[in-house]
Structure formats: structure tokens, C-alpha cells
């Protein structure tokens, strides 16, 4: 175990990337980075981290912001529940905890949206608590190093990897250890074509010896992707430069974000018939948008209007104000590409 810890640390100190959140012990900024990096590539996450820390330098600043401001800044990252929980937790810290950030793993778990991985990351990086992080990178490194065939997304696998990670962690320097094992998974023990020839654990790796590297980690088959068919009616007042938007209030994808008047159809056949029929009357655009468990086929029907007040409960919004409005990427992309609108956006 000591050999593993020392080898891992030496490799990390020589090969680590310089990332902005590694230069602070501030639990707020570490928490922010971890939430952003969930389901997000590091390079993309870095720009959002810098935007958020500039707009909201402290947890108090984040708590004082409106949800719309937070969602607007989050725009493009997806998984918007992360941003909503981030905001809720900030308000909870300011209001209920009197601005005091939780200082240990168990207390951190009580924050909205904070699970075992995020709590362990904050606890170790900010407070040197010897609690192991277990993310996708760690699953991959350990499953290959020890040639573990237990599915990582099973309850048994979760316990097995958690116990193994906790048994390996450095008690004297848990922050560096946790950063190091995740970095090894991100730079060397990568999902496809792992760079085994430069891995510091080539001799110890059981999967490399057995030829099972490409089949580790084992994962139970994913949930079936759901196909959905959206028909959007886009009311646009060109003279007044107004778009009419609707706030999504349902507890579903894009909750509290804005989109156009929406009709969801039940199948592809209905969608294609509608697209063909509407294209003879209006300017239409079709596109697809893929989320982790949903594939959306979208039809946009552009309808000119002279109205300047609400249409069917939708809010008229000036084009120059759209940058302050949280929009799903699907909607933002349409606006930016629709020539009748884009020149003013």
C-alpha cells in the first residue's frame, strides 16, 4: 500500500496539469469546480469555472443571485439540475448555516445535490480529511490494476470500490492522493487506447498481465435511450425585435429554462407528417439534439407576428436581452442559426 501511495504521488507531482481549482483550498471554489466538472470535459469546465468565480466570488454572492442569473451563466453545460442544486445549497449555507461552509464529509453530504464523490473531494482537498474519492477515473484505474470484474454501477461494485479506495488512501496527504489517482485515470488509464507504456504501475497491473484491460471496468448495460419529438412554434416580431418565450416549470429536462411554444408528438411518423405539412405554409427547420438518455427530434416553425404583448401566456423578450435568459442549447443553437433572427442576437 505504501509503495502504491508513493509511486502514485511521484507520478502526479511530475505529470499533473495546472488547473485553477488546484491553486485554492477554498471549499466554495473546490465545490464549484467539482459540480461543474460532473459530465463536463476539463477544458470546457475550466472556462465555466472562471466565469462563475468572476461573477460569484463567494458562496454569499452565489446565494444572492437569482436562479435565472445562475442558469443563464450555466447555459451550454447541460444537466441543469446541477446548477439549481448549486444555487439551493448556496442559499442553505448562507441562510441556515449562517455562511459557514460544512467542514467534514458527513456534513457536506447534507447539502442539496452533493453526493459521496463531491463530499469526499471537498473534504479531502479543503480539509485534508482522509476520505477517498471514487469517480469514473478511479473506477477505471482500480478495476484494471486489480482486474476486478464486478460491475461498477451495481450496489456490490459501489461498496467494493469504495472500500478498496478507502483502504489505499494516504492518511498523511489525502488531497494529493485523491487528485493523483483521478489524474492517472484522466491522462494515462483512459477509456479507449490506454497509455499502458507510460503508466507507473505497468508491473503491478493485473489486467495488463491477463489481457483484460479493454474489458475493464465492467458496467451493466445502460438504460435505453428515449426518442422524443418536439414541435416548436416560434413567434417572432421582426419590427420590434421580439421573440415570445415560455418558461418550463415542469420537473423535467430544462426545468426553469425558456423555450418556445411546444407540442410533443408521440412518434416519428407524426413528426415527419407535421414537418412536411408545415413546410408548405411556413419557414421550418428540423434538427436533432442528443442528451444522455434522450434523443430529441425538433421541428421549428417560424411564425411572423405583429403582436407586442403576451401570446398564449408566453413572454415577449427583446433579442438583445436574450443573453440574460437561460436557454437550452437546442433553443440557443436555433436562434443563432436562424438567419431571420440571428443578425440581431
Q: Which residues are catalytic?
A: 34
Q: Which residues contact 276 (CB under 8 A, 6 or more apart)?
A: none
Q: How distant, in Å, are the alpha carbons of 46, 187, 230, 343 from that of 331?
A: 24, 34, 12, 16
Query: In which residue are the cell numbers 412554434 written?
Result: 233
What count of other Cβ atoms lies within 10 Å of the Cβ of residue 244? Answer: 24
Burial classification of residue 69, based on how many CB atoms lie within 10 Å of its CB (0-12 exposed, 13-18 middle, 19 or more buried): middle
Contact at 8 Å (CB) between 190 and 139? no
H-state helical runs in 224-281: 268-279
Distance of CA 311 to the CA centre of its chain: 33
Q: If DSSP codes are grouped into helix, strand and coil, which group holds residue 284?
A: strand
Residue 68 parent element (H or E): helix 67-74
Q: How distant, in Å, are the alpha carbons of 41, 86, 95, 323 from that of 52?
A: 16, 12, 21, 16
C-alpha–C-alpha distance, residues 27 and 35, integer Å: 12
C-alpha–C-alpha distance, residues 83 and 64, integer Å: 14
Contact at 8 Å (CB) between 170 and 176? yes
**What are the cell numbers at 64?**
444572492
**What are the cell numbers at 27?**
471549499
Residue 283, beta-bridge partner list: 302
Distance of CA 95 to the CA centre of its chain: 26
Amino acid at each position: 500500500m505504501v509503495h502504491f501511495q508513493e509511486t502514485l504521488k511521484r507520478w502526479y507531482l511530475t505529470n499533473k496539469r495546472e488547473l485553477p481549482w488546484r491553486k485554492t483550498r477554498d471549499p466554495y471554489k473546490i465545490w464549484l469546480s467539482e459540480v461543474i466538472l460532473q459530465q463536463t470535459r476539463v477544458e470546457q469546465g475550466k472556462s465555466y469555472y472562471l466565469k462563475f468565480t468572476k461573477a460569484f466570488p463567494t458562496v454569499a454572492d452565489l446565494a444572492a443571485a437569482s436562479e435565472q442569473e445562475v442558469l443563464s451563466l450555466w447555459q451550454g453545460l447541460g444537466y441543469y439540475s446541477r446548477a439549481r442544486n448549486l444555487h439551493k445549497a448556496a442559499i442553505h449555507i448562507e441562510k441556515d448555516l449562517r455562511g459557514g461552509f460544512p467542514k467534514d464529509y458527513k456534513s457536506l453530504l447534507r447539502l442539496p445535490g452533493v453526493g459521496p464523490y463531491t463530499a469526499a473531494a471537498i473534504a479531502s482537498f479543503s480539509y485534508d480529511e482522509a476520505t477517498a474519492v471514487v469517480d469514473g477515473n478511479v473506477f477505471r484505474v482500480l478495476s484494471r490494476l486489480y482486474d476486478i470484474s464486478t460491475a461498477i454501477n451495481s450496489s456490490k461494485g459501489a461498496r467494493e470500490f469504495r472500500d478498496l479506495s478507502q483502504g489505499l488512501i494516504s492518511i498523511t496527504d489525502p488531497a494529493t492522493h485523491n487528485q493523483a489517482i483521478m489524474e492517472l485515470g484522466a491522462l494515462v488509464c483512459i477509456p479507449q487506447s490506454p497509455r499502458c507504456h507510460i503508466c507507473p504501475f505497468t508491473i503491478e497491473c493485473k489486467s495488463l498481465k491477463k489481457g483484460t484491460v479493454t474489458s475493464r471496468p465492467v458496467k451493466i448495460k445502460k438504460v435505453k435511450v428515449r426518442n422524443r419529438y418536439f414541435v416548436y412554434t416560434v413567434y417572432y416580431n421582426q419590427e420590434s425585435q421580439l421573440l415570445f418565450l415560455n418558461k418550463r416549470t415542469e420537473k423535467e429536462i430544462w426545468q426553469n429554462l425558456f423555450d418556445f411554444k411546444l407540442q410533443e408528438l408521440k412518434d416519428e411518423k407524426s413528426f415527419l407528417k407535421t414537418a412536411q405539412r408545415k413546410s408548405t405554409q411556413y419557414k421550418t427547420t428540423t434538427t436533432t439534439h442528443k442528451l444522455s438518455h434522450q434523443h430529441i427530434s425538433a421541428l421549428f416553425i417560424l411564425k411572423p407576428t405583429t403582436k407586442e404583448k403576451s401570446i398564449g401566456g408566453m413572454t415577449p423578450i427583446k433579442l438583445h436581452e436574450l443573453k440574460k435568459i437561460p436557454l437550452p442549447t437546442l433553443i440557443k443553437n436555433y436562434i443563432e442559426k436562424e438567419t431571420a433572427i440571428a443578425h440581431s442576437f
